[in-house]
Amino acid sequence: MESSIGYVTFIASLHLCLSSFPTPFANARASPLIKNIPTRSASNLKDLDTTIIKLALTNAQQSKAFFVNKLNTTGNNIVKGFGAVKQCANSYDFAVDGFAFSMRGIKDNDKSVSQILTQVQDEIVRCEKALTSTEIELPYLVSSTNFLTMLYRDVAFLITSQLFHI
């Protein structure tokens, strides 16, 4: 009983957090988690964790595509920030692989999922630091997608920790 109360409290808090973004655009970006049918009908933490990791994976794929596209369209002509863009392409490539592994790991009860999610966080932070150090500003949509990737990663990490009692 205590577990189900905690689960309901967690979902309610998450819903409140995601629905209280200050702008309508942010609400629209967060709405996949709130409106996603598997999330709303998740019967256990494993289903919820998998659904949130899928959302993180989707956002990471979008970010990776942006950075890879920047590398392919401008190549070495990026004087300012080539290294940062390359770092971000590599970081989000790792994130995509990490989220895909995590989805399989949750299904197989692999406790290393928490470690993988921590490594994904480290890679995303490397990207952010590289962008900051070269003073590259991202388009708002990309910046928002990167933020949501990290938010979903954080939520997935918390759920995974509860799931495996780490």
What does the DSSP assignment read for the chain?
Answer: -HHHHHHHHHHHHHHHHHHT-SSHHHHHHHHHHHH-HHHHT--SHHHHHHHHHHHHHHHHHHHHHHHHHHHHHHGGG--SSHHHHHHHHHHHHHHHHHHHHHHHHHHTT-TTHHHHHHHHHHHHHHHHHHHHHTTPPPPHHHHHHHHHHHHHHHHHHHHHHHHHT-
- Find the mean pLDDT for residues 3-24: 55
Domain ranges of the chain: 45-164
The 10s digit of each residue's pLDDT in 95-142 is 999 999 999 999 999 999 999 999 999 999 999 999 999 988 888 999
The 10s digit of each residue's pLDDT in 144-162 is 999 999 999 999 999 998 8
Is this prediction's pTM over 0.95?
no
Under CATH, what is the fold of the domain 45-164?
Answer: Butyryl-CoA Dehydrogenase, subunit A; domain 3 (1.20.140)
Percent of the chain with pLDDT over 90: 53
The 10s digit of each residue's pLDDT in 48-96 is 899 999 999 999 999 999 999 988 887 656 567 888 999 999 999 999 9
